[in-house]
Structure 1
Amino acid sequence: MAVTTQQESLNLEGARIAIAAAEAKAQSMGLGMNIAVVDASTHLLHFSRMPGAKITSISIALDKAFTAAGHRVGTHTYKEAVWPGGVAYGLGNTNGGRFTTFGGGLPIVNARGEVVGGIGASTGTPAQDQEVVQAGKDAIEKWNRSFAQFLHLALIA
């Protein structure tokens, strides 16, 4: 018999706040970006493709958000570990090739430090993508002080 638990997860309103802040950051950098926000279960909540964003970066942004929420750490943390001989070599080939190991994906956490979603961006360099998602993460976590309005309880089987 499956056990069902409740988990807080980001909602659409929260995702929109994160996307708006990430878009503003990308615009200030003169970049068009693909930006994705997923919930705690790695399901897409909101996506933005800004003018000038690379078509080939759409799936990369989605996969960065997926990786950040699902593995509960920023995608940039794998940089050294995934090279040949590294402790996580080959990790990028897992999850149907969706596991992303370069910068531009961050988990979104609630006031208790629990992962409630993830944000990913792609079109720039990994460092530029990282700046963009940091702005989105900061915007929603700023609201984290009264975060309940941007979360809902999800049943996880």
Structure 2
Amino acid sequence: MAAKSQDQLTLQGAKIAIAAAEAEARAIGVDMNIAIVDASTHLLHFSRMPSAKITSISIAMDKAFTAAGHRVGTHMYKEAVWPGGVAYGLGNSNGGRFTTFGGGLPIKNAKGDVIGGIGASTGTPAQDEQVVRAGVEAVEEVLREEGKRSSKL
């Protein structure tokens, strides 16, 4: 049986996502910590803008980790993790890295496979999500321009 190959997010793709996310952060006036991980949840690229909160560095990384590892945006858990919710306590999993508030999104190829994740932190969860969405959309746009989703990004 042949091994299945999977598209991978490269450093080039991560830099595209970071540049777009930083531009969005500047547009809304909130310096951010922005992390990109690969599909295996390992850090691929990181940016800390000048006024981003030091305490948000690990939060941005954990949002990217959660989005890539669980394959959905971190905002999806908001209601489920409250006391009595179906996923109450989930935030304590993975050594406390599992993030259950907005600001982390998976990065997917055309087939819907997760090739990475992006997380941002310093603003409100809505601002963080707006910033990471810009990063995801930038990667998707480049892939559309290439006419395919390949391992080039």
Please state how far the C-alpha of 1:7 moved relative to its aligned partner: 2.1
1:47 and 2:46 equivalent?
A: yes
SS in 1 for 2:135: helix
1:40-69 Cα offsets, whole Å, 9 max, x none, are 100111000001000000000000000000
SS in 2 for 1:89: coil
Letter in 1 for 2:124: T
Q: Distance in 1 between matches of 2:75 and 2:5?
A: 29
Q: Which runs of 5+ in 2 are unaligned?
A: none
User: TM-score scaled to structure 2, two decimals?
Assistant: 0.94
Give 1:116's aligned residue.
115
Please state how far the C-alpha of 1:144 moved relative to its aligned partner: 2.1
User: TM-score scaled to structure 1, two decimals?
Assistant: 0.91
Give 1:129's aligned residue.
128
Letter in 2 for 1:85: G
Give 1:73's aligned residue.
72
8 Å Cα contact 1:12/1:150 also seen in 2: no
Give 2:106's aligned residue.
107
8 Å Cα contact 1:8/1:40 also seen in 2: no
Q: Distance in 2 between matches of 1:78 and 1:29?
A: 25
Give 2:29's aligned residue.
30
Letter in 2 for 1:129: D
Give 1:148's aligned residue.
150
Bigger proportion of residues as strand: 1
User: How many correspondences in the alignment?
Assistant: 149
8 Å Cα contact 2:9/2:151 also seen in 1: no
Q: Distance in 1 between matches of 2:3 and 2:55?
A: 38
SS in 2 for 1:9: coil
Identity of aligned residues (%): 74
Give 2:8's aligned residue.
9
Letter in 1 for 2:139: I
Q: CA RMSD in A?
A: 1.3
Q: Distance in 2 between matches of 1:150 and 1:77?
A: 29
Q: Distance in 2 between matches of 1:116 and 1:36?
A: 14
1:112-142 Cα offsets, whole Å, 9 max, x none, are 1110000000000000000000000000011
Q: Which runs of 5+ in 1 are unaligned?
A: 152-157
Please state how far the C-alpha of 1:150 moved relative to its aligned partner: 3.1
SS in 1 for 2:31: coil
